[in-house]
Structure formats: C-alpha cells, structure tokens
Amino acid sequence: MMKQHLIIYFSFLVLLLNNCSTTSWAQSPAQAPSNNSLQPPALPPSKPAVHQPPVQAPAQVITPVQAPSEVPLVQAPPRKAKPEPTNVTKILDKAGGFSVLIRIVRSTQVINQIENQLNTSNSLTIFAPTNGAFSNLKPGTLNSLSTELKVQLVQYHILPSLVSLSNFQTLSNPVRTQASNTDEFPLNITTQGNWVNISTGLVNTSISSTIYADSQLAIYKVDKVLLPLGIFAPKPNEPAPAPVVAGHKKGSLESSSSTSESSTLNGPAAMFSASSAQSLAKIGMTGLAFLSAVFSVLTI
C-alpha cells in the first residue's frame, strides 16, 4: 500500500516538472538577450489583437425624431391681401366729367351708404349723370332742393342689385330704386339689343357707355339727370293771375279807375254841378214865395 502511494506521488512530481520546463522553454525566445552582438534582427511588432465582441443579432437602429421644417417642400403662392372695398368716387374721378355727382354724393353722405353696402357684399347698379347733364337743368334746380330731397335724387339713380347690360331686359317695370317707393319714384327701363332706354315720366335718356363693372358693382353713364316725379312733378293747377295790360296790374287799373272817379267827382265839373243845384233850389224857393204872395192878393 505504501509503495502504491509513492509511485503515484512520484508520477505526479514528474508531470509537474515536465510542465514547468515546457513553460520555461516557450517563454525564453520572447526574452531578448541583454548583451549579445549576434542578436538576430528584431521582428516588427505584431499588431495588437483586436478584441471583437461576440457577434450578436443586429439591434434596431433608432433614429432621433427631428422637428418638422418650417419651410414647405412646395412653396405656396403669396397670400393675397383682403381686397379693399370698391371706391366709387375714385372710379368716377378717374373716368372724368363727374365732379358734380361726386360733390353731391359726398355732401349728402350717400357715398357712405354705398360703401357700407359694398362692404357687406351687396351688389349695386349706379346711373351716373355727367357734368353736362347737371348743367342742362334749370338754373337753381339743385340749390332749391333740401338735403333730404338731394339724398332721394341720388338714390333714385341707384338700383339695389347688379344688372349687366344683357340683363336689363329681364327687369319688370316699374324698376325699384333706392329712393322711396315706385309710386312716387317710378322708373321704367326698356331695351332693344344693347340699347337701354330709361324713362322717369319727366325725362327720357339712355345708357351711353359702361364706366365700371365687376361681380358686385356696375356704373353706367347717362347724359341726363333722372328727375323723379316725386320731386319734380308739376304742382296742381292754381288760379291764373290777372292779365297784365300795358305793363300795369289789375290792382293798378282798379286804383286808377277809382282815382279817376274821385277826381271826376271832386273836379270843376263836380263843383259846377253842385252850384247849379243850389241855384235851382234858391230859384225854386223864390218862385214858390212869389206864387204864394200872388195867391194871397187874389184871395183878398
């Protein structure tokens, strides 16, 4: 038994010594001799081994989310500014020859009504008389009108809807305007092709040209002022004045005749007539006294 243990111990010792000698032999070439002139050229240092991690399944790459760019890929056209309301007076001024109408719509403030209606998307049609049309009126016609009547006169030239030249034939007479009612302010429109005739009962005229037209407003030129019956209708017949003779009035004639009569009564002829009557009266009295005396004598 003892012998077996010695054999095992001896075998283990041999294996241990053999292992140590092998390790020393493997490590000796890596040690460079300190002072040996016959040292072989040194080999270039080998690249250090790159440690490669074990191959794993590719992980999902998460790209960080970027904020959207404010610059669009397709540039939008520039946004149009809100259109300004149509300036009627500016249009008329640019057309030329409508300064009187411009002055009236401003002084009566009808232009404010027009602009408010156009701002609220209402449509209008305006008949614009020229300066010549106003100059053909009787002198003092406009000055004789009150502000209210001037407002009605201007509104009589405005229709509360858009009417193109081709659509006037679709209107029903009397055509409604913005001036009061159709009984006092009737307006009749007739057409023949592109020719548009306008009648107020006092004035007949026609559209001579188109000044301005869009989808909301139409302005037409007329050569006469539209005079409505409600303002310019003749008044009921009044008693005719007494005829004037030789530049004198009836009152003058009556005064002259009365003066003549009084002068006739108070003149020399009148005085002669009065004195004659007195003389005759005296003669009569004397005759009566004489006859009375005679009668008395005879009776004695």
Q: Judge whether 198 and 189 are in contact, CB under 8 Å.
A: yes
3 φ/ψ angles, rounded to the nearest 5 degrees: -65, -40
Higher pLDDT, 178 or 286: 178
Q: What is the residue whose two structure tokens read 């294996």?
A: 15
Q: What is the residue whose two structure tokens read 């408010």?
A: 116
Tokens representing 214 are 């869009």
Q: What is the residue whose two structure tokens read 């490669």?
A: 52
Question: How many Cβ atoms are within 10 Å of 98's Cβ, its own excluded?
Answer: 23
pLDDT single digits (tens) 130-149: 999 999 999 999 999 999 99
Q: What is the mean pLDDT of residues 202-216?
A: 95
Q: How far apart are CA 209 and CA 195, in angstroms?
A: 10
User: Has residue 254 got a pLDDT over 80?
Assistant: no
Q: How far apart are CA 11 and CA 5, in angstroms?
A: 10
Q: What is the mean pLDDT of residues 240-260?
A: 48
Q: How far apart are CA 170 and CA 168, in angstroms?
A: 5
Q: How far apart are CA 169 and CA 194, in angstroms?
A: 9
Q: How far apart are CA 299 and CA 294, in angstroms?
A: 9
pLDDT single digits (tens) 28-69: 444 444 454 445 556 555 555 555 666 566 556 566 656 665
Question: What are the sequence ranges of the domains in the chain?
Answer: 88-166+206-226
Query: What percentage of residues in the chain have a pLDDT greater than 90?
Result: 44
pLDDT single digits (tens) 153-190: 999 999 999 999 989 999 999 999 999 777 889 999 99
pLDDT single digits (tens) 106-139: 999 999 999 999 998 899 999 999 999 999 999 9
Query: In sequence order, which residues have a C-beta less than 8 Å from that of residue 250 and are 6 or more positions away?
Result: 242, 243
Q: Which of 160, 88, 165 shows the shortest CA–CA distance to 122? A: 160
Q: Calculate the alpha carbon distances from 143 to 105, 166, 202, 267 in Å.
A: 15, 37, 19, 55
User: Has residue 250 got a pLDDT over 50?
Assistant: no
Confidence (pTM) = 0.55
Q: Judge whether 228 and 156 are in contact, CB under 8 Å.
A: yes
Sign of CA dihedral 267, 269, 272, 273: negative
pLDDT tier at 21, thresholds 50, 70, 90: low
CA angle 36/39/44 to nearest 5° reads 140
User: Has residue 82 got a pLDDT over 90?
Assistant: no
Write down the pLDDT at residue 184. Answer: 86
Tokens representing 66 are 């970027």
Write down the pLDDT at residue 259. Answer: 46
CATH architecture of 88-166+206-226: Roll (2.30)
